[in-house]
Amino acid sequence: QATEHYLASLEIHQKIGNGIGVAISYLNLVEAALGKDDMEAAERYAMKGLDAAQQVRMPKLIAGTYKTLGLIEKRKQAWGKAMKHFQKAAEIADDAGAKPELASAYRYIGEVSLELHNIEEAKEFLQRAMVLFEQLKSRQNVEQVKALLQQCERR
């Protein structure tokens, strides 16, 4: 049902020429597809969302879409591809001064590094994420990153 709603939203945004709405609708479709474990659809929607975000030239949205592509690859345990997408998200977010997106990208770079047993790199990026999440007063993210840093200490 969520997918139908997001497809209707996408259609409306396409008809009225709202490029930002189109990009966001694709990201919502990604979430719906991930909820059904439909990785193929999630990836297809994410790529269309990336194209839409690039057309409207919104760095925050582009960075968020690269992060979403990274999450898809992370879920598939395609660590190299996930890392590449998270690094691209971080680069774009950093250039745009988009702290929430940058903090999130750093967190996921840290998570993937932890999965790959690259503990020093994991610590570095998780600490960067922690600083940004603290500045953003995002308590839930701070707690999650603290837990990840504790995992680093145990390895």
Contact 29, 36 (CB under 8 A): no
Neighbouring residues of 154: CB distance < 8 A, sequence distance ≥ 6: none
Q: What is the pLDDT of residue 155?
A: 82
Sequence-separated (6 or more) residues with CB below 8 Å from residue 37: none
pTM (predicted TM-score): 0.91
pLDDT of residue 1: 85
Mean pLDDT (10-residue bins), the chain, 155 residues: 93 96 96 94 96 95 96 96 98 96 98 96 98 97 97 90
Distance CA(126)–CA(106), nearest Å, equals 6
CA atoms of 23 and 45, how far apart (whole Å)? 9
Show the tokens assigned to 80: 């190299």
DSSP string, the chain: -HHHHHHHHHHHHHHHT-HHHHHHHHHHHHHHHHHTT-HHHHHHHHHHHHHHHHHHT-HHHHHHHHHHHHHHHHHTT-HHHHHHHHHHHHHHHHHHT-HHHHHHHHHHHHHHHHHTT-HHHHHHHHHHHHHHHHHTT-HHHHHHHHHHHHHHHH-
Q: What is the predicted pLDDT for the residue at 117?
A: 95
What does the chain come to in residues? 155
